[in-house]
Amino acid sequence: MLSYAIRRLAVAVVLAFGVATVCFALVWFAPGDERSDLLLSGRGAVVDTGPEPGLVEAYGDWVGSLLRGDLGTSERSGNVARWLLARLPHTLALSVSGLVLAVVFGVGVGVLQAARAGTVLDRLLTLGTVVAYSAPAFWVGILLGGAFIHKPMELGMEPLFPLTGVAPPGGATSLLDYIPYLVLPALTLGIVLGAGIARYTRAAMLEALAQDYVRSARARGLSEMRVLFRHGLRTALLPLISLLGVYLPVLLTGAVFVETVFSRTGIGLAMMEAILGQDLQVLMGGALMFGFAAVVGNLIADLLYGWADPRIGDAVRG
Amino acid sequence: MTAAPPVLEITGLRVSYSDRRRGAHGRFTAVDGVDLTLARGEAVGLVGESGSGKSTLARAVVGVVPVEAGEVRAGGEDLGLLRERDPRAAARRVQMVFQDAQGALDPRQRVGSALGEVLRLHDGSVGSEGADAVAALLARVGLEESHARRFPHQLSGGQRQRVGIARALAVEPDVLILDEPVSALDVSVQAQILTLLDGLRRDLDLSVLLIAHDLAVVRNVCHRVAVMYRGRLVETAPTDALFAAPTDPYTRALLDAVPRL
Amino acid sequence: MQSVARHQRGGVGLSVFLPGAPQILAGRVAEGLLALMPWLSAILLLVLRADLVSSQLGEGSTVGRASMALLAAAGLAWAWSLRDVSTPPEAGAGQGAWVRIVRDPWAGIGLAILLFFAGLSLLGPPLLLPEDPGRTQTTEEGFLPPSMDHPMGTDNAKSDVFERFLDGARVTLGIGLLAGLGGALIGVTLGAWAGFTGGWVDRVVMRCVDFFIALPKLVLLIALAALYDLGPVTLALFIAFVQWPALARIVRAEAVALAQREFVHALRAFGVSERRILFRHVLPNAQGVILVGTALAVANALLIEAGLSFLGLGLDSASWGRLIKDGGALFPHWWVGGFAGMSLVLVVVALNLVADAVRDVFDPRADVTV
């Protein structure tokens, strides 16, 4: 297990390095010469002395400052790392609550479908999950916003949830102030991501329940609930952990769209504002943060899977 | 005048697999130093229990599994080297009919197309000439022209085995190796296939290596019988002599298992 | 197996007036809709725009060619339906994989949806829009609700939403298809090659796949689209580039399994070249996963194109994503973004339905996640 963990960690470091390199290449090869200068302005020092730095030198500088946690400074936003870190909690709150909702929805619906396989309810839910699975996060967000905020407003009622932002003006004084702003965005992510998890859970549950030992457990007179959760869900959930690693980029990307739809001032919205304001440092800083988040998430999923299923460590070694 | 080299000459052949159960670098030796020679027109039976290495021997000869040590020569030429240089020429020296007749055929390919593919590759016959050649091949193994339009899963076990033989014959090989060609078939169908095989051998002056786990199968169609046990040949003798006076205890045990008819 | 009576429900008479209707009644939804849709569209065209068609038919203009295509499709549908109804089904005929996919009711609905949007985006602009294509039809007022003049209303810039919707269909579906197929091509080729060849090729390709799968590709695409001016082809290329790893992974797994099958060994023993084995034997046997993966890749590519346009980062020209963005908060002007949003979901659902049916037919146990 330890050597497995170390190996995964090494892979994660290489991946993070790759993400950084891709980001650098994106900027370096972009058309327009002011962009390659922008890379260097982040060092804070005077740059326009001497000749233009070459690719290797610029890359070295950039990686160096990255390792110090320096994402540069921009005119609009000041210290980019600080600017983004201040917004990170909002994105994290959205992602984590979205993921939790997705797992709850997904596993719940999947188990329900597997328990009622073949019934009308199962078919309706199958159709529902296909539709939710097919819908882009921004459209689901718009629909939810329309239904709970804008339609009531059109009818002259109070909207059910606050219009935009992450907290009441003047800042949140308690968690209760914060939550109403989180409900619809997190629900959006939960629906989009949960649909995929539900489809997976249903299939995995049905397969697990068809195993011989489960059937013999049924024959021994174990209660249906016990069979469902003890035998079905346990077997089905293990691979779900590794699937979460696959869903992570979806979650992060979804966050960008959801923040845009609901004007949540997280990192995703910061990136979109940066694009409008030609604020390259913030754009690249945001892309890097999402990239690193994906790498870390993958690492966590891998480690969790290795911890939950000791065979994995052996299989990798063997 | 020197005698023509044997059509197939196997010397000191060794094949092994990596085997995890024997440790990290453990290997299982499936074929361990086998010598076997086939003369033109000769039929040799290779007999042994399952797991004795018969199939592995055959697969090594046609290049499906790598040879670890030893040599396989066909018509005096090293078959492995020939295969590297000219795979099609090597295929014309020795050809094999696989044990799993259905698995050996591409499930999405019609019989005619499977035969045509091999024909086209080896003598370039295409179009109506190719279709005629396919029909001739099918007739040769006792199938009808209409079978060319079937998929493998639409054939019976015996028919599939005939298709396998027809495909092997398409390259007009010197040696035909048959890996348990009848073990999955009904007894009556077994007899038909063995009769077909014997006729083909006579008509085409083919050398045949017939692999079976059952001595009864090889008795009527083979000149000689080689008995294999745990990767080694324990006895090779003319069929009659072997049945009359087996020298190896394992051969005796095998013979005792043959039902007296 | 369908009985003759079931096959002929409605019979020849119905088929003359509504080709495809008997097939739909007999449960063959996809085939029926495929015939019925061009027929009804042609009739609608003749009724609504008789003047346009009669003046342009036979001319080399776009309108003339599009009308010809639609009328020809309607004629074909009519002939097929009649022939299909009057010939009894072959007793005991084996149902091939394709027939089973087309006759699966859900896949049938999916295929019909796809055909509808394909026809709409190809034939819609010349036949349904004002004669001068590319011109934005400005109106007196913005945010007009749907009406006979403006079937999908007008937007804030006083443009006709239906016109933007049709243009957007071309862009979104076109780029989605191009990028999805492109990604599938790369992924299938690399995956099959890696899985079939094994060894270092396999290791190198799969390392790349692992790397790309772990990246939040869309975020990088956002940065890319913000920094570079992308044309439709480059945009499709980049979207394709984020699609291939998922396909490579599933195709590789299939190729690894197929490479160990006995028939591959047999082909080798016959001296059949590795390339021929790969392209003529391994790939055709992997067609199930390839098809599923391709359908899902196209669906993904559509969503990515729409997503980028929604963020204002796609092409400058119209796209459904752009329309959804301009639709804003859905209320009170629901028609601006609503049609595009619903259509986008509908097309992706259709692709998923088809993919599910293909998966069930080719391998009921395979689980593919793209």
Residues A296 and A183 in one domain: yes
Question: Could you state, in order of their start, the residue ranges of all structural domains in chain C?
Answer: 2-95, 161-367
- C355-366 tens-digit pLDDT: 988 888 886 444
Q: Which of residues 102-141 of A touch C (CB under 8 A)?
A: 130-131, 133-136, 138-139
Tokens of A8: 């995964």
At residue C349 the predicted structure's pLDDT band, cuts being 50, 70 and 90, is: very high
- B223-260 tens-digit pLDDT: 999 999 888 898 898 988 888 888 888 888 888 776 65
Question: In the CATH scheme, what is the code of domain C161-367?
Answer: 1.10.3720.10
We report the CATH number of the domain holding residue A96 as 1.10.3720.10
| One-letter-per-residue 3-state SS of A107-142 | HHHHHHHHHCCCCHHHHHHHHHHHHHHHCCHHHHHH
Residue A44's pLDDT is 42
Cis before C332 (ω within 30): yes
Tell me the chain C residues in contact with residue B90 when contact means C-beta distances shorter than 8 Å.
Answer: 271
Please name the residues in contact with C346: beta carbons below 8 A apart, sequence gap of 6 or more. C113, C117
Tell me the chain A residues in contact with residue C307 when contact means C-beta distances shorter than 8 Å.
Answer: 136, 138, 257
Q: Which of A21, A42, A74 is the last residue of a domain?
A: A74
Look at A74-83, A112-121, C296-305 and tell me which has the smallest mean pLDDT: A74-83
Nearest-CA distance B32 → chain C (Å): 22
Burial class (CB in 10 A: 0-12, 13-18, 19+), B189: middle
Across the interface, whether the CB atoms of A134 and C219 are under 8 A apart is answered no
Look at A185-194, A227-236, A268-277, C196-205 and tell me which has the smallest mean pLDDT: A227-236
The Cα B197–Cα A49 span in angstroms is 89
Q: How many domains does chain B have?
A: 1
In sequence order, what are the beta bridge partners of A272?
none
Out of A130, A145, A257, the one facing C307 most closely (by C-beta) is A257
- Look at residue B229 and tell me if it is in a domain: yes
pLDDT above 60: residue C369: no
Is residue A186 a contact partner of residue A94, using CB atoms and an 8 Å limit? yes
- How much is the pTM? 0.84
CA angle A18, A21, A26 (to 5 degrees): 125
pLDDT above 50: residue C3: no
Which residue from C minimizes the CA distance to A34? C227
- A87-128 tens-digit pLDDT: 888 888 898 899 999 999 999 999 899 888 888 999 999 999
Give the mean model confidence (pLDDT) for residues A243-251. 77
- A207-236 tens-digit pLDDT: 888 777 777 777 777 777 777 777 777 777
Out of C227, C307, C345, the one facing A26 most closely (by C-beta) is C227
What value does the mean pLDDT of chain C take? 80
Question: What's the first-to-final CA gap in chain A, in angstroms?
Answer: 13
- Look at residue B261 and tell me if it is in a domain: no
Find the helix or strand (DSSP H, E) in which B139 lies. helix B127-140
Is residue B100 a contact partner of residue B107, using CB atoms and an 8 Å limit? no
Q: Which residue has the tokens 């219009």?
A: A163
Give the mean model confidence (pLDDT) for residues A31-38. 59
- C221-266 tens-digit pLDDT: 888 888 888 888 888 998 998 888 889 988 999 999 999 899 999 9
Contacts by residues B115-120 (CB-CB < 8 Å, ≥ 24 positions apart): B115/B148, B115/B163, B115/B166, B115/B167, B115/B170, B117/C272, B117/C280, B118/B167, B118/B170, B118/B171, B118/C270, B118/C272, B119/B170
Give all chains having 3 or more CB-to-CB distances under 8 Å with chain B. Answer: C
Residue B258's pLDDT is 67
- Short-list B83, A287, A130, CA closest to C353: A130
With an 8 Å Cβ cutoff, is B37 touching chain C? no
At residue C302 the predicted structure's pLDDT band, cuts being 50, 70 and 90, is: very high
With an 8 Å Cβ cutoff, is C259 touching chain B? no
Nearest-CA distance C368 → chain B (Å): 22
Amino acid type, C211: F
CA angle A296, A300, A303 (to 5 degrees): 135
Q: How many domains does chain A have?
A: 2
Look at A255-264, C27-36, C124-133 and tell me which has the smallest mean pLDDT: C124-133
Nearest-CA distance C349 → chain A (Å): 5
Residues A68 and A109 in one domain: no
Look at A154-163, A202-211, B219-228, C9-18 and tell me which has the smallest mean pLDDT: C9-18
The Cα A40–Cα A50 span in angstroms is 13
Across the interface, whether the CB atoms of C262 and B109 are under 8 A apart is answered no
Give the mean model confidence (pLDDT) for residues A281-296. 86
Comparison of pLDDT for A80 and A34, the residue scoring more: A80
In sequence order, what are the beta bridge partners of B28?
B17
How many other β-carbons are positioned within 10 Å of the β-carbon of residue A52?
Answer: 12
- C92-120 tens-digit pLDDT: 444 577 777 777 778 888 888 898 888 88
With an 8 Å Cβ cutoff, is A271 touching chain C? yes
- Look at residue B101 and tell me if it is in a domain: yes
Residues A43 and A95 in one domain: no
Residues A84 and A142 in one domain: yes
Give the mean model confidence (pLDDT) for residues C322-332. 78
Please name the residues in contact with A51: beta carbons below 8 A apart, sequence gap of 6 or more. none
- Look at residue B223 and tell me if it is in a domain: yes
Out of C266, C271, C284, the one facing B98 most closely (by C-beta) is C266
The Cα B159–Cα B161 span in angstroms is 5
Comparison of pLDDT for A135 and C62, the residue scoring more: A135
Out of B64, B90, B122, the one facing C265 most closely (by C-beta) is B64
Residues A179 and A291 in one domain: yes
Amino acid type, C69: A
Give the mean model confidence (pLDDT) for residues C163-183. 88
The Cα A156–Cα A84 span in angstroms is 37
Residue A317's pLDDT is 36
Look at A5-14, C62-71, C192-201 and tell me which has the smallest mean pLDDT: C62-71
Across the interface, whether the CB atoms of A134 and C352 are under 8 A apart is answered yes
Residues A66 and A84 in one domain: no
We report the CATH number of the domain holding residue B52 as 3.40.50.300
- A52-70 tens-digit pLDDT: 667 777 788 878 888 887 7
- Short-list C304, C102, C187, C348, CA closest to A195: C348
Radius of gyration of chain C (CA): 23
Looking only at the bridges linking them, the beta strands covering B69-74 and B43-47 are: unpaired
Residue A52's pLDDT is 61
Could you give the C-alpha distances from A232 to A114, B60, B172, in angstroms and in order? 9, 45, 56
Out of A138, A150, A200, the one facing C307 most closely (by C-beta) is A138
Q: Which of C172, C212, C221, C227 to mutate to test the interface with A (most CBs of A within 10 A)?
A: C227
Residue C272 — φ and ψ, nearest 5°?
-70, 135
Q: Which of A74, A94, A118 is the last residue of a domain?
A: A74
Give the mean model confidence (pLDDT) for residues C181-197. 92
CA angle C101, C107, C111 (to 5 degrees): 100
The ranges of chain B with pLDDT < 70 are: 1-3, 20, 22-24, 125-126, 258-261
Residue A282's pLDDT is 85
CA C3, distance to chain mean position in Å, is 32
Residues A245 and A177 in one domain: yes
Which residue from C minimizes the CA distance to A275? C226
Out of B62, B100, B121, the one facing C269 most closely (by C-beta) is B62
With an 8 Å Cβ cutoff, is A316 touching chain C? no
Residues A43 and A147 in one domain: no
Across the interface, whether the CB atoms of C269 and B105 are under 8 A apart is answered no
Across the interface, whether the CB atoms of C268 and B64 are under 8 A apart is answered yes
Residue A310's pLDDT is 60
- Short-list B152, B214, B206, CA closest to B180: B214
ipTM over 0.95: no
Is residue A258 a contact partner of residue A141, using CB atoms and an 8 Å limit? yes
Comparison of pLDDT for A40 and C27, the residue scoring more: C27
> Which residue range(s) make up the domain with B142?
8-256
Across the interface, whether the CB atoms of A134 and C217 are under 8 A apart is answered no
- Short-list C285, C296, C286, C357, CA closest to C98: C357
Could you give the C-alpha distances from C206 to A100, A312, B80, C194, C200, in angstroms and in order? 31, 18, 31, 8, 10
Q: What percent of chain C has pLDDT over 70?
A: 84
Residue B24's pLDDT is 66
Residues A282 and A148 in one domain: yes
The Cα B176–Cα B193 span in angstroms is 14
DSSP3 helix / strand / coil % (chain A, rounded to 5): 75, 0, 20
Q: What percent of chain A has pLDDT over 90?
A: 12
Residues A165 and A36 in one domain: no
Residue C185's pLDDT is 93
Residue A301's pLDDT is 80
> Which residue range(s) make up the domain with A15?
2-74
The Cα A8–Cα A155 span in angstroms is 55
Residue C186's pLDDT is 93
Tokens of A29: 């090869």
Tell me the chain B residues in contact with residue C285 when contact means C-beta distances shorter than 8 Å.
Answer: 106-108
Residue A172's pLDDT is 65
Residues A91 and A44 in one domain: no
SS3 assignment, position B201: helix
Burial class (CB in 10 A: 0-12, 13-18, 19+), A171: exposed
Across the interface, whether the CB atoms of A294 and C327 are under 8 A apart is answered no
pLDDT above 70: residue C29: yes
- Short-list A89, A99, A101, A144, CA closest to A264: A89
Across the interface, whether the CB atoms of C327 and A142 are under 8 A apart is answered yes
Residue C92's pLDDT is 41
Is residue C159 a contact partner of residue C200, using CB atoms and an 8 Å limit? no
Nearest-CA distance A146 → chain C (Å): 6
CA A149, distance to chain mean position in Å, is 25
What value does the mean pLDDT of chain A take? 80
Give the mean model confidence (pLDDT) for residues A155-183. 75
Across the interface, whether the CB atoms of B104 and C266 are under 8 A apart is answered yes
Residue C294's pLDDT is 92
Tell me the chain B residues in contact with residue C262 when contact means C-beta distances shorter than 8 Å.
Answer: 98, 100, 103-104
Nearest-CA distance C240 → chain B (Å): 30
